[in-house]
Amino acid sequence: MAKPRRNKDGRKWYQKLRNKYRLVILNDETYEERVSFRLSRMNVFVTLGTLSIVLIVLTAVIIAFTGLREYIPGYMDPEIPKKVYKNRLKLDSLEQLLQQQTLKFYAMKNIIDGGDFEDTITLNMQDAYNYDTITLENSKRDSVFRSEYEKQTRFNLNLYEDSNPFEYTAPSNINFFVPLSGNISSHFNLAIQHYGIDIVSGSNETVKSVMDGTVIISDWTLETGYVLGIQHPGNYISIYKHNSSLLKRIGSHVRAGEPIAIVGETGELSTGPHLHFELWHNGTPVNPLDYIAF
């Protein structure tokens, strides 16, 4: 069995760490003692180790909670995504302004060349986004088509039609709450993959849940802004997009008619304050107008 290593005076090496020494600071001219410290090798090692750990922790805290972390590769300023989003909004505004100026230029050119004013392109682009002037009128052809379709399908026993699985009538025993009062500017259209309706209303209006349910989506996307989705009984899911803020989180239980969001125009696909509302049943988008009387 190996014996512990000893020094020349017969003591073990770890015992020598406890030997006391005196550190004296003298005046070089008068040899007067100014300061003296009583130390041992163990005290010096413990003090230096403690200072090293404190410096490492302090450096890590400063880098983690100050702006210095932005100079470390891999870190990003959290304000950058917000700035990018604001810049994209400004870019969209500049594009609309450029289109408006271009239309004005061609309209003036058409007038100078002798063309009729009625034949010119629309001068004011804001008219295209003035939802207060929108009026809803049902055409005669649409009314006749609806009447004929209802007569043909009123005795159907199946919920789905064989020709088109998206065309079916809503169950009469389920009542839905109107999510928002306003004008419908865009209707449900599967051909262009518009799986809901756009409801135009004033700013800061509250969006309400159409049924009792549980929030399963509460997030923000670049295209649709603040989005909220609710799972309802009967395998129904309602989606609310382009909100300015959300009032519920994932897992929240809501009642029919309870405020869940604020109307806004967030997202790249929004051109004004409105709500894009979608209703899904059994994993299939359905026309909300067949279920809710707006």
Residue 266 zone, left/alpha/beta (φ > 0; ψ -120 to 50; rest) = beta
Question: How far is it, in rounded angstroms, from Cα 172 to Cα 204?
Answer: 33
Q: What's the domain count of the chain?
A: 3
Has residue 172 been placed in a domain?
no
Candidates 243, 237, 232, 239; CA nearest to 206 is 243
Are residues 281 and 182 located together in one domain of the fold?
yes
Residue type for position 30 = T
pLDDT in tens, the chain (294 residues): 455 555 555 567 667 777 788 888 888 888 788 888 788 888 888 888 999 999 999 988 887 777 777 676 666 666 777 788 888 888 888 888 888 888 888 777 777 776 655 444 444 444 445 555 666 666 777 777 777 777 766 655 444 444 444 444 555 567 889 999 888 989 999 888 899 999 998 878 899 999 999 999 999 988 889 999 999 998 999 999 999 999 999 999 999 999 999 999 888 887 788 899 999 999 899 999 988 887
pTM for this entry: 0.44
- By three-state DSSP, how is residue 26 classified? strand
Partners of residue 39 on adjacent β-strands: 21
CB–CB of 226/271 below 8 Å?
no
Has residue 140 been placed in a domain?
no
CB–CB of 264/243 below 8 Å?
yes
Give the CATH number of the domain where residue 251 resides.
2.70.70.10
Question: How far is it, in rounded angstroms, from Cα 24 to Cα 197?
Answer: 86
